[in-house]
Amino acid sequence: MKNQNRLLWEKGDFTEIAKWMRRSGEEIVASLGIQSRLRVLDLGCGDGTTAVPLAQAGAEVLGIDIAENLVAAGNKRATEASLFRLKFQEGDACDLRGIEDRSFDLTISIFGAMFAPKPFAVASEMVRVTKPGGRIVMGNWIPNDPTSFVSQLLRISAAFTPPPPEGFISPMTWGMEANVVEYFTKAGVSKERISMIKDTYEFVALDKNPGSLIESLGRFYGPTMNAFEAAEKNGKVEELRDQLIELANAQNRNADVGVSIPATFLRVTIDL
């Protein structure tokens, strides 16, 4: 499962998708009230959509991702921006070997750790590496939420792909409040220290159109790439593309001048 997860996220080039997500990444970081000298772990960080603004806000940041290409891209961004307190390295959210207990003031994962195959292990590791008095913050897509572009994208894509292997735990379980409580209480967190709200992320590009976003997802985003490959084998590529473009057009709030597509997500905060 770990190897398959690595292959999924190394399959495309998520940096091309992250370009649509930069503004919301910055907005999430701004909402956290980051202070200098905080040590932050960004888990499932990609090429730094939240890690870069965290470092720019003054934190010392370690970004961990399972995909080698995204780690390389993140370190390149850090070097180019002269962010010397930002480092990216390969790692598995299910097993943060080499990371000491109680190392970080804040552990954050925005649509990253939710895709790791062992949710109980992920929750346990996040709790283990975070200091007492620190925080864990997650952003997780909510299954079948009609107001979430990504949830609907994954739902449509799943209809064109083969069933998952036996024992597979859907990443969308992280978007259900009862599951989040179960994962973290098993990791030793009391229910009273877990809070959840619905928040909104946006995919934004003023010089693009919704079809461009679907094209990028089909070329660079692992789950959508898999859906198009399966659809091609079944002669259903046009059907899949039409459904995704219809979705993007319907949810675009900025049709006159570009793309601004909202995606509702579950924002989880753990106060340790």
The pLDDT tens digits for 11-40 are 888 888 988 889 999 999 999 988 878 999
Q: Give the chain's count of helices (H) and strands (E).
A: 11, 7
C-beta of residue 244 within 8 angstroms of C-beta of residue 155: no
Inter-residue contact 85 to 111 (CB < 8 Å): no
pLDDT of residue 154: 92
Query: Where residue 6 falls among pLDDT bands split at 50, 70, 90?
Result: confident
CATH of the domain at 200: 3.40.50.150
The one-letter code for the residue type at 254 is N
Q: Any idea which of 57-71, 200-214, 238-252 has the lowest mean pLDDT?
A: 200-214
d(CA 19, CA 85): 22
- Higher pLDDT among residues 10 and 247, named by residue: 247
pTM flag (> 0.85): yes
Count of beta carbons in the 10 Å neighbourhood of residue 201:
24
Per the model's pLDDT, the better-predicted residue between 43 and 165 turns out to be 43
User: Judging by beta carbons within 10 Å of its beta carbon (0-12, 13-18, 19+), is residue 36 exposed, middle or buried?
Assistant: exposed
Range among 19-23, 135-139, 142-146, 200-204 with highest mean pLDDT value:
135-139
pLDDT at 3 over 80: no
For residue 19, CA distances in Å to 14, 53, 75, 237, 255 come to 9, 14, 16, 25, 19
Whether 236 has a pLDDT exceeding 90, the answer reads yes
Average pLDDT over residues 151-164: 91
Residues of the chain with pLDDT > 90, as a percent, come to 76
CA-CA distance, 183 to 130, in Å (whole number)? Answer: 16
Give me the domain span that covers residue 199. 4-271
Question: Quick check: 201 pLDDT over 50?
Answer: yes
Query: What local confidence, expressed as pLDDT, does residue 14 receive?
Result: 87
Q: What is the mean pLDDT of the chain?
A: 92
Residue 130: C-alpha distances to residues 56, 178, 236 (Å): 21, 22, 46
* Backbone phi, psi, residue 157, to 5°: -60, -40
Report the 10 Å Cβ neighbour count for 184.
25
- pLDDT at residue 118 tops 60: yes
User: Shortest CA distance to 48 belongs to which of 20, 25, 32, 27?
Assistant: 25
Q: What is the pLDDT of residue 13?
A: 86
Rg of the chain, C-alpha, whole Å: 18
pLDDT in tens, 81-114: 999 999 999 999 999 999 999 999 999 999 999 9
CA distances from 29 to 23, 51, 85, 130 (A): 10, 9, 16, 18
Residue 163, pLDDT score: 87
| Between 4 and 96, the higher pLDDT residue | 96
Report the pLDDT value the prediction gives residue 1, as an integer from 0 to 100: 45
Task: Give the model's pLDDT for residue 214.
Answer: 92
| Domains contained in the chain, number | 1
Q: Is residue 7 predicted with pLDDT exceeding 80? A: no
SS3 176: coil
Count how many Cα atoms sit within 13 Å of the Cα of residue 162 in the half-sphere of its side chain.
Answer: 8
- Mean pLDDT score, 112-120: 94
Q: Write down the residue that tokens 């599951």 correspond to.
A: 179
The backbone torsions φ and ψ at residue 211, rounded to the nearest 5 degrees and listed phi first, read -60, -35
